[in-house]
C-alpha cells in the first residue's frame, strides 16, 4: 500500500464512519513491534471507544518481552493480550476480554431487559499484522449477517464469531507512523511497510546492531556467525556473511535474504521494541 495524503484522509474518514458502529475496537499490532506498529490516531478516530490491543504473531516474538509489554500497556491503562492467530483455540480469548472491558455497558443493557447483548467490534491495524487472518479465523462457522442497520451500507457484513460477538467483515488499514527512522526499519523488518519505501541495507545494519546486542545466538545459529564476526561493525558483518553464504559480493542479495529470514521466523523469535525500564522488574 502506498500512502498519499489524499488516500490517507479518505481511509481515515471511512474508518471513523465504521468505528461509529462498534462497541469496541480491536487494534491489531505485531507482537515483535508492539509499540512501533500501534497507531495513536485510533483514539481520535474511534472517539475514545474502548480499545483491546491484540499483540498478534506472538509465536514470532520474544515471549518474555511480550509479557513485559502487556504489563507496560496495563500501566498505561490499555488492555492488551498476546495472540497467535494461526492457533484457532486462542481466539475465544478476544471475546472473553472484550466482555470484561465492556462489563459495565453489558450490565446496563441487561438491566434494560436485553438478555443477551451482542458485542460489535472492528479490527484495525497497520498492514500485514494479521487482520484478515484473525477475521477469517473468527468466522469459522462462516455465518455472516448482512448489515441492515442504520448507517451500514448494504454490503457491509458482520461476521458472527459467536452468538454474542460480531465483527465487521472488513478491517481498517491504518498507515504506519514514520516519526522515527528506527520505526521505519522495524516495520520493514517485520513486513508492515512495503518493499519499495525502504533501503534493505539500512534495515539490515539496524537489525544486526540490535541482534548483536540482544540475540547474538540467533546470528550464530542461522548464519554460523563466529564470536570474531560478532565483534565487527554491522556493515562489515554484512560483507562477511554475504561471502559465507556464497553470494560473493552481492550484499543486496544477503540483505534481502536476511529480511526474508526475519519475516519468516528463520532468525528465531525476536522483539524489536525495547521494553520501558519500569516494566522489566528485576531482570
Ligand atoms: P493487510 O491486508 O496488508 O493489511 O494485512 P493483514 O493485516 O490483513 O495481515 P494478514 O492476515 O494478511 O497476515 C499477513 C501474514 O501474516 C500472512 O502470511 C499470515 O499468514 C501471517 N500471520 C497472521 N497472523 C499470524 C500469527 O499469529 N503468527 C504468524 N506466525 N503468522 C501470522
Give residue-wise pLDDT tens across range 222-232: 999 999 999 99
Q: How confident is the model at residue 149 (pLDDT cuts 50, 70, 90)?
A: very low
CATH code of the domain in which 82 resides? 3.40.50.300
Q: Ligand 1: does its nearest atom lie under 6 Å from the Cβ of 72?
A: no
Ligand 1 midpoint to CA 283 (Å):
32
β-strands 172-173, 51-56 pairing: unpaired
Q: Of 117, 103, 127, 95, give the one whose Cα is nearest residue 11.
A: 127
Which triple of cell numbers denotes residue 95?
A: 471475546
Give residue-wise pLDDT tens across range 13-53: 989 999 999 999 999 999 999 999 998 788 888 888 999 99
Ligand 1 midpoint to CA 131 (Å):
7
Judge whether 186 lies within some domain: no
Give residue-wise pLDDT tens across range 100-111: 999 999 999 999
Ligand 1 midpoint to CA 108 (Å):
36
pLDDT score for 138: 81
In eight-state DSSP terms, residue 151 is: T
Judge whether 187 lies within some domain: no
Q: How many domains does the chain have?
A: 2
β-strands 165-168, 172-173 pairing: unpaired
Could you tell me which residues are beta bridge partners of residue 165? 119, 162
Looking at the structure, tell me whether residues 75 and 134 fall in a common domain.
Answer: yes
Considering the chain, what is the average pLDDT of its residues? 88
Pocket mutation for ligand 1, best pick of 2, 133, 190, 194 (most atoms within 8 Å of C-beta): 133
Q: What is the residue with the minimal CA distance to atom 22 of ligand 1?
A: 130
Q: Ligand 1: does its nearest atom lie under 6 Å from the Cβ of 86?
A: yes
User: Tell me, what's the ipTM?
Assistant: 0.98
pLDDT value at 146 more than 50: no
Give residue-wise pLDDT tens across range 231-253: 999 999 999 999 999 999 999 99
Looking at the structure, tell me whether residues 16 and 146 fall in a common domain.
Answer: yes
β-strands 119-125, 165-168 pairing: parallel
Residue-range definition of the domain harbouring residue 230: 199-279
Amino acid at each position: 500500500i502506498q500512502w498519499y495524503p489524499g488516500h490517507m484522509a479518505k481511509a481515515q474518514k471511512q474508518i471513523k464512519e465504521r468505528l461509529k458502529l462498534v462497541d469496541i475496537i480491536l487494534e491489531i499490532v505485531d507482537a515483535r513491534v508492539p509499540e512501533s506498529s500501534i497507531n495513536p490516531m485510533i483514539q481520535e478516530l474511534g472517539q475514545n471507544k474502548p480499545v483491546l490491543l491484540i499483540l498478534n504473531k506472538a509465536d514470532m516474538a520474544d515471549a518474555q518481552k511480550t509479557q513485559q509489554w502487556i504489563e507496560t500497556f496495563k500501566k498505561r491503562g490499555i488492555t492488551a493480550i498476546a495472540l497467535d492467530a494461526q492457533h484457532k483455540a486462542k481466539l475465544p480469548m478476544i471475546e472473553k476480554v472484550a466482555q470484561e472491558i465492556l462489563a459495565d455497558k453489558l450490565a446496563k443493557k441487561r438491566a434494560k431487559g436485553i438478555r443477551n447483548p451482542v458485542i460489535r467490534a472492528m479490527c484495525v491495524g497497520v498492514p500485514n499484522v494479521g487482520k484478515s487472518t484473525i477475521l477469517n479465523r473468527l468466522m469459522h462457522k462462516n455465518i455472516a449477517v448482512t448489515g441492515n442497520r442504520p448507517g451500514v451500507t448494504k454490503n457491509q457484513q458482520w461476521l458472527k464469531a459467536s452468538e454474542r460477538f460480531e465483527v465487521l467483515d472488513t478491517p481498517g488499514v491504518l498507515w504506519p507512523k514514520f516519526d522515527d527512522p528506527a520505526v521505519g526499519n522495524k516495520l520493514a523488518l517485520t513486513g508492515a511497510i512495503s518493499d519499495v519505501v525502504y533501503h534493505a541495507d539500512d534495515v539490515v545494519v539496524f537489525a544486526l546492531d540490535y541482534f548483536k546486542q540482544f540475540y547474538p545466538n540467533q546470528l550464530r545459529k542461522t548464519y554460523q556467525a563466529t564470536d570474531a564476526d560478532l565483534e565487527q561493525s554491522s556493515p562489515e558483518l554484512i560483507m562477511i556473511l554475504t561471502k559465507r553464504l556464497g553470494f560473493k559480493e552481492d550484499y543486496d542479495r544477503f540483505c534481502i535474504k536476511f529480511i526474508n529470514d526475519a519475516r519468516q521466523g528463520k532468525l528465531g523469535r525476536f522483539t524489536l521494541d525495547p521494553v520501558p525500564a519500569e516494566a522489566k522488574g528485576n531482570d
